[in-house]
């Protein structure tokens, strides 16, 4: 889910935390949808080494990564004591301990950024890349002592998925004219301080509340990969991709930095997600920033972007397994 997190990116928005949470709780949309997150976690589960699997089983009691894939998103409604975790003591404790956890799912980089830079002007210690690192530290016996190993596993499984969603990384910044016309700014040097579209959440191609670009990538494009909403069906299709292409997705070097490379890949995919979009009138947010921008998607958008969504989902499953196979589990 990116809406809540988007609502918390600026100080003016964060002052309206309660409203942001209310909006998030009312939203049915999850990043990559529940379907995408579960499917990529199933794929990861199919690609674990026996050693990694034994550590997962020790922590979870089973190796069903799909079943924990959206715990981090379900925390949002748990803030309001609703949803599947509404009366879950662990979820309530986690939210009380980390009320800012909505910010952990993304980072907002200008589309022209060369790469994700962990110390750069647009990254921060609570962004999705840093939080994958934090969770890995916990699984390796260090990190924040308030996070249990089970919760750290929830975090890794979810956030590796999130960061492969291009719009959790790439983001539009805009020069807004006095007449409400907008110009997309991709150059990081020029984008700093400009209002952004919250990972596409503010880009509306239709009149409906969920007719926006972020949700389109979360759910609509995911559904088009197999034509179903069944995570098991999608996982089958993704596993085929992994079998065909996984060897070319292999990471090298220190696994503590792999998440940075995956973010850079999402940045490149995000440029495809924004390619050809025509930007119309902007509506300002009374609290500051951009409330919405009308957009028109170019012809052939689904044909260009569905394969990208499929590849990023398959890569997420593959990379998640790769990471779980690489880490030095504390127990
Ligand atoms: Zn998320």
pLDDT tens for 221-251 read 999 999 989 999 999 999 999 999 999 999 9
* Residue range 167-173: mean pLDDT, rounded: 97
Tell whether the model's pLDDT for residue 15 goes beyond 80: no
What six digits make up the tokens of 245? 């292409």
Q: How far apart are CA 284 and CA 238, in angstroms?
A: 40
Q: How far is the CA of 280 from the centre of ligand 1 (A)?
A: 28
What six digits make up the tokens of 191? 């984008």
Structural domains for the chain: 3-326 (1.10.575.10)
Q: How far apart are CA 85 and CA 243, in angstroms?
A: 35
> Mapping DSSP to helix (H, G, I), strand (E, B) and coil, where does residue 264 land?
helix
152 φψ region: left (φ > 0), alpha (ψ -120 to 50), beta (else)? alpha
Q: How far is the CA of 137 from the centre of ligand 1 (A)?
A: 20
Q: How far is the CA of 114 from the centre of ligand 1 (A)?
A: 24
Contact 314, 245 (CB under 8 A): yes
Q: How far apart are CA 22 and CA 17, in angstroms?
A: 8
259-284 pLDDT, tens per residue?
Answer: 999 999 999 999 999 999 999 999 99
Q: How far is the CA of 266 from the centre of ligand 1 (A)?
A: 15
* Residue range 65-77: mean pLDDT, rounded: 94
The pTM for the full model equals 0.91
Q: How far is the CA of 102 from the centre of ligand 1 (A)?
A: 8
pLDDT at res. 155: 98
Phi, psi of 175 (to 5 degrees): -85, 115
Higher local confidence (pLDDT), 27 or 216: 216
pLDDT at res. 194: 96
Q: How far is the CA of 11 from the centre of ligand 1 (A)?
A: 21
Tell whether the model's pLDDT for residue 58 goes beyond 90: yes
Q: Is 183 exposed, middle or buried (0-12, 13-18, 19+ CB in 10 A)?
A: exposed
Contact 276, 125 (CB under 8 A): no
Q: How far is the CA of 320 from the centre of ligand 1 (A)?
A: 15
Which band of pLDDT confidence, cut at 50, 70 and 90, is reported for residue 183?
very high
Q: How far is the CA of 177 from the centre of ligand 1 (A)?
A: 32
* Residue range 92-119: mean pLDDT, rounded: 97
Which band of pLDDT confidence, cut at 50, 70 and 90, is reported for residue 6?
very low
Q: How far is the CA of 181 from the centre of ligand 1 (A)?
A: 31
Q: How far apart are CA 148 and CA 305, in angstroms?
A: 37
Higher local confidence (pLDDT), 25 or 262: 262
* Residue range 168-196: mean pLDDT, rounded: 96
Which band of pLDDT confidence, cut at 50, 70 and 90, is reported for residue 301?
very high
Q: How far is the CA of 108 from the centre of ligand 1 (A)?
A: 14
Which band of pLDDT confidence, cut at 50, 70 and 90, is reported for residue 220?
very high
Q: How far is the CA of 195 from the centre of ligand 1 (A)?
A: 22
* One-character DSSP codes across 122-139: T--TTSHHHHHHHHHHHH
pLDDT at res. 17: 41
Average pLDDT, the chain: 91
Which band of pLDDT confidence, cut at 50, 70 and 90, is reported for residue 31?
low
Cβ neighbours for 308, distance < 8 A, ≥ 6 positions apart: 166, 269, 272, 273
Q: How far is the CA of 119 from the centre of ligand 1 (A)?
A: 22
> Mapping DSSP to helix (H, G, I), strand (E, B) and coil, where does residue 293 land?
strand
What six digits make up the tokens of 199? 């990972």
pLDDT at res. 77: 87
pLDDT at res. 163: 97
pLDDT at res. 86: 92
Q: How far is the CA of 180 from the centre of ligand 1 (A)?
A: 31
- Above pLDDT 90, what percent of the chain? 85
Q: Cα dist. 51→44, 68, 326, 328, 331 in Å? A: 14, 20, 10, 10, 11
pLDDT at res. 90: 94
Q: How far is the CA of 72 from the centre of ligand 1 (A)?
A: 6
Which band of pLDDT confidence, cut at 50, 70 and 90, is reported for residue 2?
low
Tell whether the model's pLDDT for residue 92 goes beyond 80: yes
pLDDT at res. 262: 98
pLDDT at res. 33: 84
Cβ neighbours for 141, distance < 8 A, ≥ 6 positions apart: 330, 331
- Tell me how far apart the terminal alpha carbons of the chain are, to the nearest angstrom: 31
Q: How far is the CA of 32 from the centre of ligand 1 (A)?
A: 8
Q: Residues in the chain, how many? A: 331
Tell whether the model's pLDDT for residue 13 goes beyond 70: no
Q: How far apart are CA 87 and CA 89, in angstroms?
A: 6
- Above pLDDT 70, what percent of the chain? 91
What six digits make up the tokens of 45? 């589960």
Q: How far is the CA of 216 from the centre of ligand 1 (A)?
A: 15
């Amino acid at each position: 889910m990116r809406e809540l997190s988007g609502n918390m990116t600026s100080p003016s928005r964060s002052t309206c935390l309660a409203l942001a949470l209310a909006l998030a709780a009312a939203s049915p949309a999850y990043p990559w949808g529940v379907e995408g997150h579960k499917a990529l976690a199933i794929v990861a589960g199919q690609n674990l080494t026996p050693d990694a699997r034994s550590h997962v089983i020790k922590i979870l009691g089973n190796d069903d990564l799909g079943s924990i894939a959206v715990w981090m998103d379900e925390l949002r409604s748990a803030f309001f004591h609703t949803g599947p975790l509404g009366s879950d003591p662990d979820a309530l404790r986690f939210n009380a301990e980390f009320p800012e956890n909505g910010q952990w799912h993304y980072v907002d980089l200008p589309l022209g950024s060369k790469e994700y830079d962990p110390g750069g002007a647009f990254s921060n210690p609570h962004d999705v890349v840093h939080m994958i690192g934090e969770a890995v530290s916990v699984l390796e016996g260090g990190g924040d002592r308030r996070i249990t190993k089970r919760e750290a596993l929830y975090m890794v499984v979810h956030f590796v998925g999130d960061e492969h969603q291009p719009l959790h990384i790439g983001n539009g910044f805009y020069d807004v004219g006095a007449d409400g016309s907008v110009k997309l700014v991709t150059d990081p040097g020029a984008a700093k301080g400009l209002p952004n579209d919250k990972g596409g959440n503010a880009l509306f191609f239709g009149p409906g509340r969920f007719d926006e670009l972020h949700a389109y990538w979360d759910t609509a494009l995911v559904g088009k990969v197999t034509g179903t909403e069944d995570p098991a069906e999608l996982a089958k299709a993704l596993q085929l991709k992994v079998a065909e292409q996984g060897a070319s997705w292999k990471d090298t070097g220190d696994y503590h930095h792999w998440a940075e490379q995956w973010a850079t890949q999402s940045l490149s995919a995000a440029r495809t997600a924004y390619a050809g979009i025509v930007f119309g009138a902007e509506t300002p947010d009374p609290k500051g920033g951009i409330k919405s921008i009308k957009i028109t998607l170019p012809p052939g958008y689904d044909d260009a972007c569905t394969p990208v969504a499929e590849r990023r989902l398959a890569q997420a499953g593959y990379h998640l397994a790769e990471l779980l196979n690489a880490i030095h589990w504390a127990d």
